[in-house]
Structure 1
Amino acid sequence: MRVLLVCLAGLLVCLKTADSHSLPQKDYETDSSKHDITIPLNDTSGNNSSSVPDNSNGIFDSNTTTFIARSVTRVGKKESMGIYAHKNGKVKKILEGSMAVSPWSSKSRAYLGNKDGIYVYDTETEKLEKYGNLSDNVIGIAKENRTDDLYILTEDHVVYKVTEEGTKKIKVNEAEHAERIALDWDDNLYYIGANNQPYVVASDGAKKIEGLPANSTPTLISRPPITIEHGAWFISGQQAYIIYPNATSELYVFNDQEKLEYEKRNRAVQAIFLQVRDQTEE
């Protein structure tokens, strides 16, 4: 059975502009005093861990598992309401108090970060289990493309590489004061620093990504959700960029087919958005 795993990595937005440089715009309102839902952007299918995803067959069929992290903002502070899994038209909460899911997985497993360590969720059996023996408060998590090793970001903004099935962690000293982390398809590590600037971790230390607009504010950093073989996906405002392991960047221009895919994806996501909201407010 083909398993298509969709992992959250930021707000999914829909196309309302003819500007091919711009990201799609949101077509729903978010009231900061009410529930705020982070919607999936990344997806992959099949079992070939070296392949770039192909969205041509649609992303929300009966074999798709979609993860949605829900939060509520109270007095200007975002509080987690947990992670939900949507499959076969049904929604269920799988982990309380968590906001971190590993984006992109080629297998039927997703890794989730929580305040007491790492969990793994099997999308076929729909079972959640503790992964390894770490007890860190994990606020960000990413899985390597070629191996089962993970990178985690802890509450105190330290990055670790996690190996040996979650039993060993190694501090990534080059990634200082990280706010978010991401891997590209070649397993290069990127992070957003305390100054809101993106960096790539190279063999000779962390390097600031060049070529981005001054004072750019990151909305999202992740593996590319489209067929780009090298580099990571960086969004600032409504503009998408590809950032590369040599610390350069370039503006990404959407083609017509990609715009159609975003429109189709947005319609499917909105239906899930409403289902989660209605179910959790009952």
Structure 2
Amino acid sequence: MRLLTYFTAFALVGLLVAAPTSNDEDDEKVLVTPEFYIKDLVEYKAEHDIVKLVVPLNALNFDETESSSEWDEIVSKFLVFFVEADVQPDGSRVDQGLYVLKDGKAKKILDNGRDAAAAAADDSKKVFFGAKDGLYKYNLETNSADKYGPITDSIIAMDMERLSEVIYILTEDRDVYKVTYNGERKEKLDDVVKPKQFVVDFGENLYFFSDDKVPYVRTVDGVKKIEGLPVATGTVTLFKPPFFLDNGAPVIINNKVYLMYSNGSSEATDFEFQPKAIPTALAPEATLVQYYAYDKKIYEYNILALIISSLVEEITDFLKKQATEINNFASKETNLKRKLQPSEKSPKIKSHA
């Protein structure tokens, strides 16, 4: 079981890094199957599908002023925000609320919440929510949500820039707006045409898919098509990149993971999902702790802990085997010495000067 956990962790690390496909034909591809979702790693069981996972990378989860350096203690404090919904056969959703997972317990904080976002590298503890009636802000003291600004648009998705309180929202009319000035001002992005989903990378570039299922990226130089990706025949899933990837975003197309870059290029990776193993939501942005939603459950992969645990077990097994061999060798040496020692009844030989 532990070895399976070990390999699962490494598979998900590979998915996280999204390494480009190697030219070496001997390199092994990674196929994620339902067996990769291990029961021991379940953090939460829901009554509905989990359609969004968000792990804030700001001081809410990574407070540099805290004195504790124990990784397990840091991870145990992680706040994870997630959205539940009933997904219909046509792909539409019936909202079931936005939740926060805190200290291992889940609490619904917004009945009509649909998405969450936080700046990734600032010292604040701010998290914002998109809901059917506008924007909300996380209240850490009360573990609840407060209305943010006068916007009343029906928001279906949102994201934020890395170092500022600039929020991008996708409305139910499938228009994208840039929200600034504490939620007081919104500016429509006319060059982002009718996206179905979008994500902002850590270089402030916006990636989106429209009705034609063609991927685009919006940078300071305008909008360009992402080249090199296959035609999407099934679902497309954009998700937040790991924090060290500045100008790129991962995407799942036809069950395979690709990397899109802000210059309009793309690369395939060595990772693919079985159709029945595609997560309903995923959050690998924190890198060493990753969250995946599958079959109405949230799985936490603490990569560092899994690796250390596996290494400790392997070292322990190795030492046990070595201890057995050492004991056997020691026993043989002891028996040999006993055979070579002179008997107490044997006459002593006198030496002559």
Partner of 1:192: 209
Give the letter for the 2:167 counterpart.
L
* CA distance in 1: counterparts of 2:145 and 2:31, whole angstroms: 34
Partner of 2:227: 210
Q: Is the 8 A contact 1:39 1:69 kept in 2?
A: yes
**Number of the residue aligned with 2:158:** 141
The answer on whether the counterparts of 2:59 and 2:125 sit within 8 Å (CA) in structure 1 is no
Higher strand share: 1
Q: 2:95 is matched with which residue: 65, 80, 85?
A: 80
| Aligned residues with identical type, % of pairs | 30
Corresponding residue SS for 1:214:
coil
Superposition deviation, residue 179 in structure 1 = 0.7
**In the alignment, what sits opposite 2:256?**
239
The alpha carbon displacement at 1:220 in A equals 2.1
1:190 is paired with a residue whose SS is strand
Residue identity matched to 1:83: L
Give the distance between the partners of 1:47 and 1:21, measured in 2 at CA: 36
2:119–2:161 contact (8 Å) kept in structure 1: no
**In structure 1, what is the Cα distance between the partners aligned to 2:295 and 2:75?**
13
In structure 1, C-alpha distance between the alignment counterparts of 2:30 and 2:150, rounded to whole Å: 43
239 and 94 in structure 1: CA distance in 2 versus 1, 3 angstrom threshold: same
More helix by share: 2
Residue type of the alignment partner of 2:79? T
Identify the match of residue 170 of structure 1 among 164, 187, 196.
187
1:273 paired to 2:319: no
CA offset at residue 271 of structure 1? 12
Structure 2 equivalent of residue 66 of structure 1:
80
Which whole-Å deviations, capped at 9, do the CAs of 1:45-81 have from their partners, x for residues lacking one? Answer: 54899xxxxxx94698332111121111456442010
Could you tell me which amino acid in structure 2 is paired with residue 171 of structure 1? Answer: K
- Mapped partners of 2:194, 2:137: distance in 1: 26
What secondary structure does 1:140 align onto?
strand
The alpha carbon displacement at 1:253 in A equals: 4.6
Q: Distance in 2 between matches of 1:136 and 1:264?
A: 33
Matching residue within 111, 121, 136 for 2:138: 121
Return the TM-score normalized by structure 1. 0.72
TM-score using structure 2 length: 0.59
Aligned-partner residue type, residue 108 of structure 2: K
Alpha-carbon RMSD across the aligned residues, in angstroms, is 3.8
Tell me if 1:99 matches 2:99: no
Give, in angstroms, the shift of residue 264 of structure 1: 7.2
Conserved 8 A contact 2:58-2:125: no
| CA displacement at 1:23 relative to structure 2 | 6.5
Aligned residues, how many?
Answer: 246
Quickly say closer, same or farther: Cα 1:155–1:23, change in 2 above 3 A.
farther
Map 1:47-66 onto structure 2 (within 5 A): 57=71, 61-66=75-80
Trace 1:26-45 onto structure 2 (pairs within 5 A).
26-27=34-35, 35-38=48-51, 40=53, 44=57
Q: 1:263 to 1:123 in 2, by over 3 A?
A: same
Structure 1 or 2, whichever has the larger Rg, is 2
- Note the alpha carbon deviations across 1:198-256, whole angstroms, 9 max, x for none: 111134542111011233645322331363232112222432222111111112357xx
Aligned-partner Cα distance in 1 for 2:93–2:116:
17
**2:126 counterpart of 1:109:** yes
